[in-house]
């Protein structure tokens, strides 16, 4: 028996009818593009352990590479209970693929897994009683483990923590750049209209990190959670070491980072506006939005100085001036926010101090990273 009730175009241009399974509380959702080979290996391993409580859905974003493997995945889905495959008629972008899950899935919760990673069905089954008892939690970031033979780059073990409504905007909302391991309460977030709000930003402000926009708004409107349970394992990624990238243009350019930062700033303001509506007056603390803003500034200062620092240097950018210009951008971007006159001076002081710290720390390791470049023949 299949698990969702929706009609979708499949790879052959026909229609795929997916039916509901009442035993399911969540859906394991693989979002995929062009990695059919590695995903096929993963689903073959998972099929013997598929459980009705956590059916599997593969959502293919109109891949042009690995088509034969995706055809094989579809055949397996057709022949396997609690397993479905959907292919979009056209590529709707990363943000569109994420947003589509809120329509494709019918279970209350769903787990997002990147196509090179592997979920732990055993862990997810252990989480079922907790999810049934905590249907007011809007989003969960689960821990990410590693397997032997895979160099960890996304491994993260959270300390168990539940945030009450409005408390997790900065810490929860700005964590989890890597989307694997995120669990969303589909029913609750749809009731709050958060997926629809994301759609308004598909092609503008939240193209690169749409899930973190959802996380920020979820934290403002619902309880959220860091889970110490390892629900996913990091697989073998395609080459992904952003600190070794040499190409300037793309999601990691300085201009792209400014756009991402600006989108996050607006999301924080939007979340605070939500808190004004859903939090009790004695729970509303305007200083939280500025604490969250400082956290955001620190996050992107670290990215500019460490993660992308060598790329900027190799493209003939003065890293010190680039970092200082970003600090000034952060100060400019807070100047006109609500109640900023009470906070902007202390925020500016913190941003400048953080800029100095990251500059000092980055100067010690750039030479080592450049040596790694040369060793790899970059």
- Model pTM above 0.85: yes
Which segments of 80-203 does DSSP mark as H helices, in order? Answer: 93-104, 121-133, 186-191, 194-199
Encode pLDDT of 350-361 as tens digits. 999 999 999 998
pLDDT value, residue 288: 83
Indicate if the pLDDT at residue 5 is higher than 80: no
Percent of the chain with pLDDT over 70: 83
From CA 85, how far away is CA 71, in angstroms rounded?
A: 10
pLDDT value, residue 307: 87
348 vs 280, more confident? 348
CATH code for the part of the protein at 6-238: 3.90.550.10
Read off the pLDDT of each residue in 17-22 and give the average, rounded to a whole number: 49
- Token pair for 290: 């500025």
pLDDT value, residue 276: 79
Read off the pLDDT of each residue in 15-24 and give the average, rounded to a whole number: 54
Indicate if the pLDDT at residue 59 is higher than 50: yes
pLDDT value, residue 367: 56
Kindly indicate the confidence band of residue 52, based on its pLDDT and cuts at 50, 70 and 90. Answer: very high
For residue 18, which phi and psi values (nearest 5 degrees)? -115, 125
Sequence ranges of the domains in the chain: 6-238, 243-376
Kindly indicate the confidence band of residue 22, based on its pLDDT and cuts at 50, 70 and 90. Answer: low
Which segments of the chain does DSSP mark as H helices, in order? Answer: 36-46, 67-79, 93-104, 121-133, 186-191, 194-199, 210-221, 254-278, 287-302, 309-314, 319-334, 344-376
- Top mean pLDDT of 247-256, 283-292, 321-330 is at 321-330
Q: Are 105 and 4 in contact (CB under 8 A)?
A: yes
Indicate if the pLDDT at residue 228 is higher than 50: yes
- Token pair for 364: 């010690």
Tell the residue number behind the tokens 């006109």, with chain if given.
336
Read off the pLDDT of each residue in 44-71 and give the average, rounded to a whole number: 96
Kindly indicate the confidence band of residue 205, based on its pLDDT and cuts at 50, 70 and 90. Answer: low
Indicate if the pLDDT at residue 373 is higher than 80: no
329 vs 338, more confident? 329
From CA 230, how far away is CA 228, in angstroms rounded?
A: 6
Nearest to 57 by CA among 14, 95, 19, 15: 19
18 vs 110, more confident? 110
- Token pair for 236: 């073998």
């Amino acid at each position: 028996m299949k698990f969702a009730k929706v009609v979708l175009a499949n790879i052959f241009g026909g229609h795929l009818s997916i039916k509901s399974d009442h035993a399911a509380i969540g859906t394991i959702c693989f979002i995929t593009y062009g990695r059919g080979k590695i995903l096929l290996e993963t689903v073959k391993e998972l099929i013997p352990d598929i459980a009705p409580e956590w059916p599997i859905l593969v959502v293919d974003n109109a891949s042009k590479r690995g088509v034969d493997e995706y055809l094989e995945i579809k055949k397996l889905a057709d022949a396997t209970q609690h397993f479905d495959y959907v292919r979009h008629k056209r590529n709707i972008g990363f943000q569109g693929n994420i947003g589509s899950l809120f329509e494709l899935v019918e279970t209350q919760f769903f787990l997002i897994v990147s196509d090179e990673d592997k979920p732990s069905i055993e862990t997810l089954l252990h989480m079922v009683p907790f999810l049934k008892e905590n249907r007011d939690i809007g989003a969960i970031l689960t821990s990410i483990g590693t397997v032997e033979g895979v160099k960890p780059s996304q491994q993260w073990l959270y300390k168990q923590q539940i945030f009450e409504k409005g408390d997790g905007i900065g810490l929860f909302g700005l964590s989890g750049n890597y989307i694997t391991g995120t669990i969303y309460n589909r029913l609750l977030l749809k009731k709050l209209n958060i997926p629809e709000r994301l759609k308004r930003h598909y092609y503008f402000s939240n193209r690169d990190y749409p899930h973190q926009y959802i996380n920020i708004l979820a934290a403002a409107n619902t309880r959220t959670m860091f889970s110490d349970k390892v629900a996913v394992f990091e697989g073998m990624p395609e080459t992904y070491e952003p600190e070794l990238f040499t190409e300037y243009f793309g999601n990691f350019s300085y201009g792209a980072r400014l756009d991402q930062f600006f989108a996050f700033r607006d999301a924080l303001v939007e979340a605070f506006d939500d808190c004004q509506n859903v939090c009790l007056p004695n729970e509303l603390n305007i200083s939280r939005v500025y604490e969250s803003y400082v956290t955001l500034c620190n996050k992107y200062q670290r990215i500019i100085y460490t993660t992308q620092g060598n790329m900027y240097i190799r493209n003939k950018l003065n890293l010190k001036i680039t970092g200082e210009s970003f600090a000034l951008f952060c100060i400019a971007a807070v100047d006109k926010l609500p109640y900023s006159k009470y906070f902007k001076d202390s925020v500016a002081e913190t941003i400048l101090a953080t800029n100095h710290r990251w500059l000092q720390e980055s100067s010690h390791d750039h030479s080592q990273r450049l040596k790694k470049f040369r060793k790899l023949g970059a």
